[in-house]
């Protein structure tokens, strides 16, 4: 079932989804950028920053896990638009409140609530765009959503440099509330409306576990995204600590690293989208990205006496490697029918984000035994190996017709 919507309406939808993901990424990554500055301001000592940072980040990721389930079910049962409105309202208000926190416990719980809200943005947006465009063109739409969206991290860096960390949270929340007005002109997916009155289970997450084949398909979708957030959440976010282990010339800035990583991710998303259109294969693109991740991560973690310039260059190239984020979410959406598509497309990226919790736990467990550098290297290699194996188990979905349901 090809999209019959006027091109102008489709591209308006792509624009709105892109700006939504822009705000989502800003609010999602802002903690990693202002972690050191904000912790110093509320009285956290340098020796406790890594542990407290992992705690707050894991609370945010836990919120993403819970929110992924909640918003995914809502999107398949009641519509993609309801998620786009509800999620942005929740995480915008939470980020505004984040600007007032005075202790780590409150900080962590507010990030948990923000995480619940942030969970709904990307999956619902990608699902809506995928279902509204022709099957041989939808890769362009999802590519634009991701490429524009991840630029939000760059804005987050500059806002944090120009203003205080509290103001950076206020700006993120304010942008989200403003975007609510723009969303008034969006429309619901025609595929969702077509299946609204059908007697078929919608948004039933239990269906993912009722069939061994369907569960395996879902788990393989999750696995191909595992390396992404470990690169951002550990290799780049913990750049100050990794830099010390590498005896860096100057202290490495996590904020600058995140900015260059997301610049790489933005360009990588465009590259991955265009390459998938050229190769007519999303699987081949993800495989190439895994090779890039391993190569540049090992180079980074082996760079004794690393300079700031080299760190930022490697952060950018690691970003290129993990720039298959939109391709990963699109693959997940294309693997399932309309009655489960938003549930999968919303839970998959958030479960992958949430998978940072066991990844960091494994990493933290390894650090005392083999050191921070070898621990980071070992976990990166393990996650990429899992992703490549899972990729071989999934069917190519580049030009798959999405007009079907799961029974």
Question: What pLDDT score does 171 carry?
Answer: 92
pLDDT at 389: 96
Q: Domain residues for 150?
A: 7-183+208-393
The pLDDT, as a whole number, for residue 2 is: 44
55-80 residue pLDDT tens = 888 888 888 888 888 888 888 777 77
CA distance 210 to 230: 30
- Give the pLDDT confidence of 280-327 residue by residue, as tens digits: 888 999 999 999 999 999 999 998 989 989 999 999 999 999 988 888
pTM, 2 dp: 0.76
Q: Which residues of the chain have pLDDT under 70?
A: 1-8, 135, 184-204, 399-407
Give a yes or no: residue 80 inside a domain: yes
In this structure, is residue 279 part of a structural domain? yes
The per-residue pLDDT of the chain, averaged, comes to 83
241 lies in some domain: yes
Please report the pLDDT score of residue 226 as a whole number: 92
Evaluate whether residue 315 is within a structural domain: yes
Measure the N-to-C terminal CA separation of the chain; round to a whole number of Å. Answer: 19
pLDDT of residue 131: 72
Q: CA-CA distance, 118 to 90, in Å (whole number)?
A: 8
The Cα angle at residue 81 between residues 211 and 79, in degrees rounded to 5: 40
pLDDT at 400: 67
Tokens 């490429």 -> residue: 147
Q: Is residue 202 part of a domain?
A: no
CATH number at residue 61: 1.20.1250.20
**Residue 2 counted as domain residue:** no
- Residue 302, pLDDT score: 92
Say how many domains are in the chain: 1
In a domain, 269, yes or no: yes
Q: Do residues 265 and 318 make contact, with C-beta atoms less than 8 angstroms apart?
A: no
Residue 143 · residue 266 · CB < 8 Å: no
Residue 87: per-residue pLDDT: 86
**Any domain includes 112:** yes
């Amino acid at each position: 079932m090809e999209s019959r919507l006027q091109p102008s309406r489709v591209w308006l939808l792509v624009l709105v989804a892109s700006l939504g993901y822009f705000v989502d990424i800003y609010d999602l990554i802002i903690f990693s950028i202002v972690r050191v500055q904000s912790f110093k301001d509320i009285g956290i000592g340098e020796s406790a920053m890594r542990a407290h940072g992992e705690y707050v980040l894991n609370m945010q990721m836990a919120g993403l896990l819970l929110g992924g389930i909640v918003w995914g079910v809502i999107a398949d049962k009641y519509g993609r638009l309801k998620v786009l409105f509800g999620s942005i309202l929740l995480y915008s208000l939470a980020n505004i409140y984040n600007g007032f926190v005075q202790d780590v416990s409150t900080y962590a719980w507010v990030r948990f609530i923000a995480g619940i809200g942030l969970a709904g943005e990307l999956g619902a947006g990608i699902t809506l765009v995928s279902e509204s465009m022709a099957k041989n063109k939808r890769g362009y739409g999802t590519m634009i959503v991701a490429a524009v969206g991840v630029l939000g991290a760059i804005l987050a860096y500059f806002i944090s440099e120009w203003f205080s960390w509290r103001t950076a949270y206020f700006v993120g929340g304010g942008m989200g509330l403003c975007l609510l007005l723009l969303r008034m002109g969006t429309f619901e997916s025609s595929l969702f409306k077509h299946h609204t009155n059908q007697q078929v289970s919608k948004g039933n997450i239990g269906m993912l576990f009722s069939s061994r084949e369907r569960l395996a398909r879902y788990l393989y979708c999750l696995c191909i995204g595992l390396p992404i957030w470990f690169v951002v959440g550990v290799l780049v976010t913990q750049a100050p600590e990794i830099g010390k282990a590498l005896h860096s010339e100057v202290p490495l800035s996590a904020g600058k690293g995140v900015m260059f990583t997301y610049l790489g991710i933005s360009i990588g998303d465009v590259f991955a989208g265009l390459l998938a259109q050229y190769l007519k294969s999303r699987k081949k693109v993800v495989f190439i990205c895994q090779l890039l991740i391993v190569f540049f991560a090992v180079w980074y973690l082996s760079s004794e006496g690393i300079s700031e310039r080299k760190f930022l260059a490697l952060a950018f190239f690691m970003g290129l490697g993990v720039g298959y984020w939109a391709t990963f979410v699109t693959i997940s959406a294309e693997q399932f029918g309309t009655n489960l598509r938003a549930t999968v497309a919303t839970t998959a990226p958030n479960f992958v984000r949430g998978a940072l919790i066991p990844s960091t736990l494994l990493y933290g467990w390894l650090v005392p035994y083999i050191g921070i550098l070898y621990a980071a290297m070992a976990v990166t290699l393990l996650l990429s190996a899992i992703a490549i194996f899972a990729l071989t188990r999934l069917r190519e979905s580049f030009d798959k017709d999405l007009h079907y349901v799961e029974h």
